[in-house]
Amino acid sequence: MKKDITIPEVKDVHIAVVHEWNEDFSSHDWVIYLINNMREPMESVMIMSRGKHRDGRKTSTFRHAFKVVPAKSSIRVELIMEDVFPFLNEFILTYFKDKTLYDKTYMAAPNTINEKNLKDLPVMDVQGVMID
C-alpha cells in the first residue's frame, strides 16, 4: 500500500550555481555544483537537468552520473548558460546512502540565478546561488 512506503528526506545535500573564472576561455562562467554536506558519502549519484520557459521553449535534457561523492565535498556537474536563466531550471537528484535510495527535485525559478543572490556555500570556500 502507498501508506506503507516511507520516503526518506534529503538533508545536507545541495545544488548550487557558482560564477567562476574559466582559464581556458578567459571568461566568467556559471557552473552547477552538487554539494554533499553530510558525514557519509553519496553513492550511485545521478543528476538530470532540464529547463522550461513559460512560452513553451525547452532546453536539452542532460544526465550525469557519479559513482561516489565523498562526505563534506562538492563535485562539478555542468556549465549553465546565462541564456537559460529566464527558464524554470530543474535538477532531479537520485542517490544511495546506506543502501537507501534518496530522491529530490531542485528548482531554480526564472531569473533567480544572478549576482544579487550570491551567498556563502557550505563545504566550498566560494559564494554561489543555492537552489532549493
| pLDDT tens digit at each of 132 positions of the chain | 666 677 799 999 999 999 999 888 788 999 999 999 999 999 999 999 999 999 999 999 999 999 999 999 999 999 999 999 999 999 999 999 999 999 999 999 999 999 999 999 999 999 999 998
- Residue 121 DSSP code: P
Q: Exposed, middle or buried: residue 65 (CB in 10 Å: 0-12, 13-18, 19+)? A: exposed
42-52 sheet: strands from edge to edge: 62-69, 42-52, 88-97, 100-108
Mapped onto helix, strand or coil, the DSSP state of residue 132 is: coil
Strands (E) located in 1-132: 13-22, 27-36, 42-52, 62-69, 73-80, 88-97, 100-108, 119-120, 127-131
How much is the pLDDT for 63?
98
Domains of the chain: 2-131 (2.60.40.1600)
Residue with the three cell numbers 563534506 = 72
Can you give the pLDDT at residue 2? 64
Count how many residues are written for the chain.
Answer: 132
Determine whether 17 is exposed, middle or buried from the number of CB atoms within 10 Å of its CB (0-12, 13-18, 19+).
buried
- Grid cell locating 117: 543572490
What is the model's pLDDT at position 124?
95
pTM of the full predicted structure?
Answer: 0.93
